[in-house]
Structure 1
Amino acid sequence: MTDRRSLLALAAGVPLLGARAALAQAPAPAPLAADDPRMTERSIGRAGAPTVIEYFSLTCGHCASFHRDTMPRVKRDLVEAGRVRIVFRDFPLDAVALAAAQVARSLPADRYEPFVATLFQSQDRWAFARGANPQEELFKIAALAGMSRAQFDAAIGDQALARGILELRVKGQQEHNVNSTPTFVFGSRSVPGNMPFDRFAALVAEIR
C-alpha cells in the first residue's frame, strides 16, 4: 500500500520540476478507474467556445486574488456571453492544497466551481488562519456544500485520488510548461501570473 505521507511530501516539499521523478519513486496505489467521475474535466462555459485552461493551487495567494478580483467579471462578460470556456486544472503546491483539491473533486461536478470559488474567497480563514487547523476549517466549508464527515474523511484519505491529482500536476508541467500558479493557457500559449480583466479578455481575443 502506498505511504500517503510520501504523496503529501511531494506536494509539500518537492520542487515543481522534480515532481515527475518523485512520483515515479513513490509506490503506486491501485489506479483510479478510467471513468472515475472525480477526475473528469471541470469547466464552465459554452461547449465550442474558445478555451482557456487555468492551472491553480487552492493555497496560492495570487490564484485567490485572480478569483476574487477578476474571475467574477470573466464569468459575467466572457463565460456567460459565450465568448470563452474555462477549464480548471488542479496544480497543488502543498499538502493543504492537495487535500482541498481532493475534497473539491469528491463533490458532485456541478458543485466543484462554486466550492473552489468559496475556498478562494475564504482562503485566509481556512488555509492560513493563525492557530486554526486547516483540515477542520476545510471540513466546515465542505459541510456547507453538502459533504458529510465520513465523505470528507474518505476524500482526504484517498491515496489513489491524491496520486491522480498529482499526476495531473505533472501533466501540466509536461504539456504546458507550468511552473507557477496561476498559469493560464490561451489556445497554445501559456501565460503565468495573476492578471486584470482587460489583459485576460485581450488574450482570449487572440486565441486561434
Structure 2
Amino acid sequence: MKTLPLAALIACAALSIAAAPKKAAPTAPAATNWAARVETMANGSHRLGNPEAPVKLVEYVSYTCPHCAHFHKEADPVLRLTLVPKGQVSVTVTNFLRNPLDLTVAMLTNCGDPKRFFVRHSAFFASQEQWLAKAQAANAEQQRRWYQGEMPARMRAIASDLGFYDKMASWGIGRAQADACLANQPMLDKLKAQQAEGAALGIEGTPSFTLDGELLDAHDWASVSKAITEKVARQRAGNI
C-alpha cells in the first residue's frame, strides 16, 4: 500500500473539512404576540392577552360613558402595543350597562366573530361622540320606541336611528344577522351576569377597574397606569 506524503494528507483533510456540511445554528423560538390572543369568558366578557399574565386588569365599561371612551383612547395604544404583547398584562372587558343604548351596543359588539370583538369594541368607542350626538337629538317619537315595548324591538329601533346597521355592514354583518344578535337571549343573560358581577364588587359607575381581583380606587388611565406600574415593580422585587 502506497503511503501519501504528509502534505497530501493535510490537503485531503482540509478538503474534507471544507466539504463537510455546516450545522445550522439553533433557532430561537418565535416570541408570542399576546395582543393577538382573544378569549371569550364564561360570562361573555372578553380577554385580550396572555391568560397567565402576572397582572390581570378588568375594565367595567359603559358604551354611553364619555369617560370610558376617553380612557379607551388613552389606554388602548399603551396596553395593546407594549404591555399586552409581551404577556405582562391581560385586559378583560366587562359590560356595566346604564341604559338601552348601552345594551344595544353591547349586543352588537358581541355579534360576529368573537376574535374580532376588540375591533368592534374600539370602533364603537371611537365613534361614540357622533352616535351619542344623534341620540341626544332624537325626537320624542324615537325615544318612545327606545324605551317602550319588547326589548329586541327597542334595540332594533336604536340600531336603525343611530346608524348601527351601517357600522355592522362594514364588518360584513348584514341587518338580518344583526337583528338575530339583538334577539340573542343567552347573550342578554350573560350581560345581566356581568352587571351582577360588577354590582357585587360595589361598582356604581364607569369606568371602574379591578387589578388581580382587587377593586381599584381609580377611574382614569393615569391612576390605572400607576397601579399597574407599582404592581409590576412589586412582582419584580419579589423575584430578586
TM-score (norm 2): 0.64
The answer (yes or no) to whether the contact 1:126–1:134 under 8 Å persists in 2 is: no
Q: Secondary structure at the match of 1:106?
A: coil
1:183 to 208, 226, 229: 208
- Secondary structure class of the residue paired with 2:180: helix
Q: CA deviation at 1:37?
A: 8.5
The 2-side partners of 1:87 and 1:183 are apart by: 12
Q: Match for residue 123 of structure 2?
A: 118
Call closer, same or farther: CA 1:182–1:168 in 2, change over 3 Å: same
CA positional deviation for 1:193: 5.0
Alignment of 1:57-206 (within 5 A): 57-129=62-134, 130-131=136-137, 134-136=158-160, 137-174=163-200, 176-191=201-216, 194-197=219-222, 199-206=223-230
Contact 1:181–1:193 (CA under 8 A) maintained in structure 2: no
CA 1:65–1:193: 2 relative to 1, 3 Å: farther
Q: CA RMSD in A?
A: 2.4
Cα distance per residue 1:108-128 (max 9 Å; x no partner):
111111111010000022233
- Residues in 2 aligned to 1:148 and 1:77: alpha-carbon distance in whole angstroms: 35
Looking at structure 2, the residues matched to 167 and 83 of structure 1 have their Cα atoms a distance apart, in angstroms, of 28
Runs of at least 4 residues off by over 6 Å = none
Contact 2:45 2:194 in 1 (8 A): no
Q: Percent identity between the aligned chains?
A: 23
Q: Distance in 1 between matches of 2:41 and 2:86?
A: 28
On the 8 A contact 2:64/2:128 being kept in 1, the answer is yes
Structure 1 residues 13-36: Cα deviation after superposition (integer angstroms, max 9, x where no partner): xxxxxxxxxxxxxxxxxxxxxxx9
- The alpha-carbon distance between structure 1 residues 95 and 38, as it changes in their structure 2 partners (threshold 3 A), is farther
Higher relative contact order (CA 8 A, sep 6+): 1
Deviations 1:3-57 (A, max 9, x none): xxxxxxxxxxxxxxxxxxxxxxxxxxxxxxxxx9995441111221111111101
Deviation at 1:131, TM superposition (A): 4.0
Gaps of 5+ in 2: 1-39, 139-156, 236-240
Go from structure 1 to structure 2 and tell me whether the alpha carbon gap of 1:119 and 1:131 turns closer, same or farther (over 3 Å shift). Answer: same
With over 3 angstroms needed to count, the CA separation of the structure-2 counterparts of 1:37 and 1:190, relative to structure 1, is closer
Aligned mates of 1:127, 1:150 — CA distance in 2: 24
Question: What amino acid maps onto 2:96 in structure 1?
Answer: F
Aligned length: 171
Change (3 A) 1:188 1:163: closer
Amino acid at match of 2:226: A
The structure with the largest alpha-carbon Rg is 2
Taking structure 1 as the reference length, what is the TM-score of the superposition? 0.73
The match for 2:145 is none
